[in-house]
Amino acid sequence: MKKNKWGKIYLAVVFFVLYAPIFYLMFYSFNEAGNMSHFSGFTLDYYKEVFQDTRLLIIVLNTFVIALLSSVVATIFGVLGALAIRYMPRPFTKNSLLSLNNVLIVSPDVVIGASFLIFFTILGVKLGFISVLVSHIAFSIPIVVLMVLPKLQEMSPTLIDAARDLGASQWDVLSKVILPYIAPGVFAGFFMALTYSLDDFAVTFFVTGNGFTTLSVEIYSRARQGISLSINALSTLLFLFTIILVIGYYFINQRNAKTAQALEVPKK
């Protein structure tokens, strides 16, 4: 009982430390005084300022296009990569590929960003939309692999054997047995890749060029010029959008989990 009590207190402290700065920032986005020292009155002027800034809206659009495109492509390659690792016949090759995938997850973003900058410079690729898109796809693929692989590992081989005994082709096994079963992992990977792409700063900072930028780099540039509550308003909108994504992911995950359970062969 005491253990549960201290655990709840610990969680409460952790959530308070994590969320207090965010709610502090959101609270002052409505401050009429224009600073974050005292609250003088309620206003929506900074939100109007965000929606009237055409350049900022274009940057927001660029950010979401990059995030959606990179997430879709990374999810496709990530699922294929997870399938390749799961069904790799040689344990040494399988473990080597998994280790290489994990190294990319734990590598510092600064190192990855600098590596991409050198890579694009050597190839003569102009920094901009393409360089940002390619780099976001690259660092999102290992995340998708890690989300999908556990679902593949927990799937019973009898499902595939039963489908083949019933005359299913390789494509039927993949599209009607494997993909529906691992759908929760696929959606988890997609949303994780989307989130990573939306808030990535370090890698994007290295590979973005003149005339093209994303929201994280733009917020950093504006913050360096001084405190503006329009940044608070913009950050609040992004936080709310992220909350909507998380809620949407939760309901999709619940529905796919029920579908996957329905496909499982009852145990004797």
Confidence grade of residue 226 (pLDDT, cut at 50, 70, 90): low
Give percent of the chain with pLDDT exceeding 70.
93
Dump pLDDT digits (tens) for 150-190. Answer: 888 888 888 888 888 888 888 888 888 888 888 888 988 89
How confident is the model at residue 268, as a pLDDT?
A: 46
Between the alpha carbon of residue 175 and those of residues 79, 180, 190, 261, the distances in Å are: 12, 7, 18, 16
* CB contact at 8 A, 99 and 107: no
DSSP-derived secondary structure for 10-46: HHHHHHHHHHHHHHHHHHHTTBTTSSSS----B--HH
Predicted confidence (pLDDT) at residue 2 exceeds the cutoff of 60: no
How confident is the model at residue 3, as a pLDDT?
A: 60
Q: Quote the CA–CA distance of 97 and 91 in Å, as a whole number.
A: 10
Number of other residues whose CB lies within 10 A of the CB of residue 177: 18
How confident is the model at residue 257, as a pLDDT?
A: 67
How confident is the model at residue 74, as a pLDDT?
A: 95
Predicted confidence (pLDDT) at residue 256 exceeds the cutoff of 90: no
Dump pLDDT digits (tens) for 26-62. Answer: 888 888 887 777 888 888 988 998 888 888 888 888 9
How confident is the model at residue 135, as a pLDDT?
A: 93
Q: Domains of the chain, with CATH numbers?
A: 1-52 (no CATH), 53-225 (1.10.3720.10)
Phi, psi of 240 (to 5 degrees): -65, -40
Q: What three-state secondary structure class fits 230?
A: helix
